[in-house]
Structure 1
Amino acid sequence: MTDLPPLTKKIVDILTEHKIAATFLFVGKNAERHPEGVVYAHEHGMSIGNHSWDHGVLTKSSAKEQSKNLSMTSSLLDSLTHDRVTLFRPPYGAVNDALVSAAAKQHMKTLLWNRDPEDWNAKSAEDIIRYFREVEAAGGVYVMHEDQHTVEALPAIIKYLKEKELKFVIFK
């Protein structure tokens, strides 16, 4: 594991240490560059899903291009995990009937979120933690990213959510 993406490993290790799992949605071209991250997450009990090949706005693509984009990513992830990918999260939440249909034809459910701490844009870990304290946590499907501030905030977020006695779930 010499070329393991450091943030992937750190996030997986934090989750594992706290005995919880999460759903990791990988961009295909990033997974191709760092397959060890996908394997590491999968080997540690994380659910693995498709987040497109290139993180483009797929609703602007033809049905054929959408299908190819999803299948390239799923094929790569399937080959790395030896499990069939069943989840797709559209980049930016940009979705239309054609895209949902393309995912369904590939036996994937389209997964969206209802809580967004915008961790990718946070100035500090405290900004992310503050978000969790300000929104209703119950029923939250959070979208988070592999970012240094997220890594720094994750232990405090987990502690806070566990204090609320919430159940952590993964999507399959």
Structure 2
Amino acid sequence: MTRARSFLRLRYVLLVLVVALVYGQHTEKSMINIKPQTAANEGETKGEKTQVKQTQVKANPKRQTKEKQVALTFDDGPDTKYTVEILDILKKKKVKATFFVVGYQVERNPKVLASIVKEGHALGNHTWSHKDLTKLNDRQIMSEIVKANNAIQNITGEVPKYIRTPYGAVSKKVTAVAEQAGQKNVLWNVDTKDWTGATPKEMMKNVKANIKPGGIILMHSFGGKKGDLSNTIKCLPMMIDYLQDQGYSFVTIPELKSNQR
């Protein structure tokens, strides 16, 4: 009996030793397979997180797009030649603009004015007869504004919210009267100088030198030097392509002013 018990104890001890040995080898292998957090792979992890963050920023450039907006504006129309050609270019390029129209031109060309609105562009008041408002009295200034508004409203059913004073001439008196008529004066900060007969190359130079986010570009859809705006027609497609390549989007004056609030 004593020998039998001793033999059983020996078998039990040997079994325990075998189990311990096998478990120890398994644990050691598992520890070998765990990759330690060294300085090298810690840097890789941080790099991956940084890359994800940068990708998210690049994929969501809303602020940049919002800032890089520009408004094309055309003064002195409408007419049946250059205004129509400008509308064709804008339609082809899928770009919206703002037309500051003269009252007596509106009465002469009501169908063209209706086309401007129908194609999604905005209208602004450029007075009835394109006079320098700073040289007029209060009553005359109001008459120039109201007559133009009435001409526009008779065709479109709406009164523009914005006015552009002819020649950019403005004074405290002019501003006060315009505000009484319910309109804000909007000038420009980029002059193509198409009204001087500038070449397309010269116009592009003016734009490139002065354009910035929120830019308002001055062009004309009627008039110009000796009544010739053919260079405006030649330059406009190039200007649109250039600005789009620079990341600009095109908005109307009401849209631009709304986004600046």
Bin for the TM-score computed over the shorter chain: over 0.9
**Secondary structure in 2 matching 1:141:** strand
Q: Which of 114, 117, 129 is 1:39 aligned to?
A: 114
Name which of structure 1's ranges 135-144 and 95-104 shifts more when overlaid on structure 2. 135-144
Aligned letter for 2:140? E
Aligned letter for 1:88? I
The CA distance in 2 between the partners of 1:58 and 1:155, in whole Å, is: 33
Structure 2, unpaired ranges of 5+: 1-78, 222-228, 255-261
The CA distance in 2 between the partners of 1:77 and 1:166, in whole Å, is: 30
1:156 match = 238
Checking the alignment, whether the CA contact within 8 Å between 1:5 and 1:36 is kept in structure 2 is no
**C-alpha distance after superposition, 1:37-82 (max 9, x if no partner):** 2111111111011101111111110000000110000000111111
Checking the alignment, whether the CA contact within 8 Å between 2:87 and 2:116 is kept in structure 1 is yes
Confirm or deny that 1:134 pairs with 2:231.
no
Structure 1 runs of 4+ aligned residues shifted over 4 Å read none
2:95 match = 20
Structure 1, unpaired ranges of 5+: none
Aligned letter for 2:246? K
Checking the alignment, whether the CA contact within 8 Å between 2:189 and 2:210 is kept in structure 1 is no
The CA distance in 1 between the partners of 2:82 and 2:207, in whole Å, is: 21
The number of aligned residues is 169
Checking the alignment, whether the CA contact within 8 Å between 2:190 and 2:211 is kept in structure 1 is no
TM-aligned CA distance change 1:123 to 1:117, over 3 Å: closer
Aligned letter for 1:85? P
1:110 match = 185
Alignment of 1:45-124 (within 5 A): 45-124=120-199
Name which of structure 1's ranges 109-118 and 120-129 shifts more when overlaid on structure 2. 120-129
The CA distance in 1 between the partners of 2:211 and 2:156, in whole Å, is: 34
**Secondary structure in 2 matching 1:103:** helix
1:171 match = 253
TM-score (ref. length: structure 1) = 0.92
The CA distance in 2 between the partners of 1:25 and 1:65, in whole Å, is: 19
2:72 match = none
Checking the alignment, whether the CA contact within 8 Å between 2:188 and 2:218 is kept in structure 1 is yes
TM-score (ref. length: structure 2) = 0.62
2:85 match = 10
Identity in percent: 30
Aligned letter for 1:103? A
**C-alpha distance after superposition, 1:131-170 (max 9, x if no partner):** 2233334331111112221111100000000001112111
Aligned letter for 1:154? L
**Secondary structure in 1 matching 2:129:** coil
Aligned letter for 2:239? I
The CA distance in 2 between the partners of 1:141 and 1:35, in whole Å, is: 26
2:20 match = none
Relative to its length, the structure with more helix (as a share) is 2
Q: CA deviation at 1:122?
A: 2.6
Answer with 1 or 2: which has the greater Rg: 2
Q: CA deviation at 1:123?
A: 3.8
The CA distance in 2 between the partners of 1:94 and 1:32, in whole Å, is: 24
